[in-house]
Structure 1
Amino acid sequence: MKKYTLFNNDGQKEMDEEEYTQWFFSTIHEHIFKKIEKGFNQKRDGIEKELIGKFSSTRQKKQCNCPCKDCNEKPIYSHSISKKSVLANIACNGSVYMPSIDKDIMTPINISNASIFPGFCKQHDNDLFPKLDNVNNVDFDNDFFSQLGARTLAYEISHIKRTIRSLEMLLKKLSSEYETSTSSFLQKFSNGFYRKEVSYTEFYCSESRINKIKPTILERIENEKGGLLFLNQEFLNSDNVFVQGIVFEKMIPIAFSGLCSFQLEDHVAYILINCLPYKTQTIVSLHFSQRDAHSIQSFLSTFNLADENSSLRLIETLAVRGTRNIFFNIDYWNSLEEHIRNMFLCEFNNIEKSSINEAIDFSFLTWNWNNKESTK
């Protein structure tokens, strides 16, 4: 049987194959593990930043044809928030601010690229949403709110599918990089001690960063898939959807649209929300399923929608807790006091408080705002 000699501060020790193997892995876990982790963490940060950067700065790819029945045309890049009817009203020189995904800062974006997604072909987009892009004489009737909910739903389904693909790609890249880094280090280490090659599969540690990351990413993927399933089951059937629409005869310097969560005792409810400034008016709409109607109506009753200040608190709560598809007038944002800007960004990126029934304790919006210097 092959013998090994270990030299240390206590002298030398003879080992057989089994003893050496046990010592080898003990040494790896105890002394070398941190070096592997340090190298991986540096590469992990680069991988995550690269994917986050691509996710936030690039357009979604047009994965397939228009989803309408028997249509083989390619989808166009639709705006979930109308460019001409809404975003132009809060734009400064054609741009607005949006919160950065990976940093507590605001990033300027041209309204031509804001809130876009590959939805429907040009013909079906015009046929399905004729009222949403009407710059003049907007009639906020039932058809308007139905079209608004449908477009928001299409955006969210597209966005969730993209998020799932990005998370799966992140997990794959991180796993591959960790295996490559660890295998390389093990090879060098084992060669230095004249031991046979150690494969990556022999080395497993529950404390390693990758084995801590995996469950979190997998859980996020399952949550996203659950939300997607719920949207398809509940919101695609208009008979199951309740709509709360409010029209205010004033402007605000913000526009947002998307899906937000509402934490109930036994499950999470989902609400499609919109807050859109149309010239001299602002509309707020909430679409939610029949299953959750009572709980959400109870939440809304805590705000006095006949009172402008109370209504503004509701809009602020929805803006902070609701969706990442949100845009500010640049001049207005810059006019806010620094501590208010910091509080908004901190709360906006606080994933521990992602439900709209989590109250906020600051105010950042005002009525009677008018973007006189915007470029339409």
Structure 2
Amino acid sequence: MRPNKEAIEFDNSVENAVKKYLNNKQAYCMYPGCNMHAISSHTISKKISLNQISENGILFSPESKRMYPEKKYGIGEIGINDASTFKGFCKIHDEIFFSVDKNGIKSQKDVFLQVYRVLNFIIFNENVINKMAPLFYEKLNTSLKNENIKKIIERGKNTATEANEIRIKKLNKYSSNILNIINAGGLNSATFDEEAFLTLDITMDQDIQENSHNKNEDNLIIVHRKVNYHIPVAMATKVSFSLNTQGKEDELFLICIPYENYSDLIIMFAKGKSLFAKNNHYLHYIYNDLNMLELIEKTMVNSEDWWMSPREWY
């Protein structure tokens, strides 16, 4: 089957729009109140983490490959200088992550700093979706002849746009709350012991709870575990998948940071909405190594924001 010219042109327009957004030299710092231009920086430390899993400066990561007449999901190479990067912070505010990038996660404050950076990485990517969406709807609108179907598509567009705006608003509030805790001081800066296990119950401010029936349902649980072995994949992502047979989806933030001889794992979820929180179900995944690795693998299937050692793929 020969490729559809119109489909290819549309595909190219979407890719070009994304590239233009990602390469925008006028991107501004995401730190509150800062209007300086953002630089491209890593979400996961290049020096002490990505270097440990790369081969000749190369990592493997999910990508969409054009295999005419359609695109297929696959795994491709990505350079270490591009892996996990985004234009989130200016040069000055990127320095707040200096200790995490140099020494890894050594304290409670470091956990919050890494969570804050990943949240902004996710927000940045959500904004990419916002940039792509109008192209998709424009394509649908011009290709449809039936006015009733066009109206249905328009309602769907409005619903999706509203849902995405709510999602980004909540992510921004999570980010704001985490940053407030960091800036307030008082976080434990003591170095973790080996095999450290930390659970933090974070109360969100009133603003983020304004649309909640249960005022505690958006409070966050952040769990950190330092494991004494090397996990050959770096991850900074938010996923939704079902943990039970009823099909109810859980939203989970997962961060995996591999080092030479050990790894840091951070999971975060909304306390009142997640099956992870029910009866401390998250302990099932964090304390047990096999369950923890199963969770990482399941997250990889449902996410694009991970980077793996090439030697582990073959």
TM, length-normalised to structure 1: 0.61
Distance 2:7 2:154 in 1: 13
Q: Which runs of 5+ in 1 are unaligned?
A: 1-40, 180-202, 335-376
What's the offset of the Cα at 1:64? 4.1
Distance 1:250 1:168 in 2: 45
Q: Which runs of 5+ in 2 are unaligned?
A: 65-70, 179-202, 205-219
1:230 aligns to what?
Answer: 170
Structure 2 residue 112 is matched with structure 1 residue 146: yes
**Relative to structure 1, is the Cα distance of residues 91 and 215 closer, same or farther in structure 2, using a 3 angstrom cutoff?**
farther
**Relative to structure 1, is the Cα distance of residues 45 and 224 closer, same or farther in structure 2, using a 3 angstrom cutoff?**
farther
**Relative to structure 1, is the Cα distance of residues 67 and 305 closer, same or farther in structure 2, using a 3 angstrom cutoff?**
closer
Same amino acid, percent of matched pairs: 22
**Residues 164-184 of structure 1: CA deviation (Å, up to 9, x unaligned):** 1111133235535x38xxxxx
| Paired residue type of 2:240 | S
Alpha-carbon contact 1:47-1:174 (below 8 Å) kept? no
Of 195, 198, 204, 2:146 maps to: 204
**Relative to structure 1, is the Cα distance of residues 55 and 84 closer, same or farther in structure 2, using a 3 angstrom cutoff?**
same
Structure 2 residue 275 is matched with structure 1 residue 275: no
1:133 aligns to what?
Answer: 101
Structure 2 residue 313 is matched with structure 1 residue 313: no
Q: What does residue range 166-205 of structure 1 map to in structure 2 within 5 Å? A: 166-176=132-142, 178=143, 204=146
Alpha-carbon contact 2:28-2:88 (below 8 Å) kept? no
Distance 1:234 1:288 in 2: 11
Of 130, 135, 142, 1:164 maps to: 130
> Rg larger in 1 or in 2?
1
What's the offset of the Cα at 1:332? 1.4
User: For structure 1, which segment, 153-162 or 59-68, has the greater mean C-alpha deviation from structure 2 after superposition?
Assistant: 59-68
Distance 1:300 1:44 in 2: 45
Of 110, 117, 120, 2:79 maps to: 110
2:208 aligns to what?
Answer: none
Distance 1:84 1:116 in 2: 13
**Relative to structure 1, is the Cα distance of residues 121 and 306 closer, same or farther in structure 2, using a 3 angstrom cutoff?**
same
Distance 2:19 2:290 in 1: 33
**Relative to structure 1, is the Cα distance of residues 69 and 168 closer, same or farther in structure 2, using a 3 angstrom cutoff?**
same
Alpha-carbon contact 1:60-1:117 (below 8 Å) kept? no
| Paired residue type of 1:59 | L
**Residues 73-106 of structure 1: CA deviation (Å, up to 9, x unaligned):** 2110121122212111111110111111352321
**Relative to structure 1, is the Cα distance of residues 292 and 174 closer, same or farther in structure 2, using a 3 angstrom cutoff?**
closer
User: For structure 1, which segment, 148-157 or 72-81, has the greater mean C-alpha deviation from structure 2 after superposition?
Assistant: 72-81
**Relative to structure 1, is the Cα distance of residues 112 and 217 closer, same or farther in structure 2, using a 3 angstrom cutoff?**
farther
| Paired residue type of 1:160 | E
Question: Which has the larger strand fraction?
Answer: 2
1:254 aligns to what?
Answer: 233
What's the offset of the Cα at 1:49? 4.8
- Give aligned pairs, total: 265
Structure 2 residue 270 is matched with structure 1 residue 330: no
Distance 1:57 1:310 in 2: 40
